[in-house]
Structures are given as structure tokens and as C-alpha cells.
Amino acid sequence: MSIIINVGEIQIQNKKEIFKMFGLTISAIVATASLFTSIPQNEMGFYPMTTVVTDVNYDTDEVTCTDFNGNDWVFTGCEDWLEGDICSMIMCDNGSEIIYDDIIISEHYDGWFDGWEKY
């Protein structure tokens, strides 16, 4: 049995040609849609950062840490922190390339370093 379909000037005569034409049409639609779809550029990333505790303020319950580029980072929860402690932090880049809007996700005690001021 033969099926004949006239679409404009294209004549399709059997099931195999119908499926082939259907597949080509779907492929063209998907390819066209993918051209207009973009990958989000502001996906958040995480990274580690090592800092040294430079100030512990028990009145405000804030710990200030300084990284080795001279940037200060502040988090709450003084607990057992002391000046000179090494603090390892997991940071979130907030989806941007600048460091000044990054967020501290977690902080961990990583030892003590005497003489960090020299570096």
C-alpha cells in the first residue's frame, strides 16, 4: 500500500519517506531552537581560601581574617578563635569575577602560624 502526500511541491509516497521527512523537520526545529538558547554565564562557583585571623571581637562576636592578598573577611562566631590562627574557608564567587562580593560558606580552624606578619 502506498501513501501519497502532497506538501507544496514535495510528494511523499511511502511510510519510510514520511518518517524521514518528520525526522528532518524535528531536527531542524531542535537545531534552530538551540541557536537561540544560551548557557547562563552567572553560575556560582566555589573555591577554597586560606586566611589568618587578624582580629577577634567578642563584643560583636565577629572574627576578621585576612587573606594573603590583603583582603579582609569577617564572619560571626568567635568561639575558640585567636589572633594568628589559620582559617580555611570555602567561598562562593556569587557568579561574578570580582572577589569583593564573594560569600563565606564555611570556615574551619587549620592550625596556628607564628610570624605570619612577615608574609
Domains of the chain by start residue, with CATH: 5-35 (no CATH), 46-118 (2.40.50)
What pLDDT, on the 0 to 100 scale, is given for residue 88?
Answer: 95
C-beta separation of 81 from 63 below 8 A: yes
Per-residue model confidence as pLDDT tens digits over 32-59: 666 666 555 557 789 999 999 999 999 9
What pLDDT, on the 0 to 100 scale, is given for residue 28?
Answer: 67
For 83, residues 6+ apart whose C-beta sits below 8 A from its C-beta are: 53, 54, 55, 56
What pLDDT, on the 0 to 100 scale, is given for residue 89?
Answer: 95
Euclidean distance between the first and the last CA atom of the chain, given in angstroms as a whole number? 86
Q: What percentage of the chain exceeds 90 in pLDDT? A: 45
What pLDDT, on the 0 to 100 scale, is given for residue 35?
Answer: 62
Three-state DSSP at 26 gives helix
Could you tell me the pTM of the whole model?
A: 0.59
Beta strands in 16-102 (DSSP E): 46-57, 62-67, 72-76, 85-92
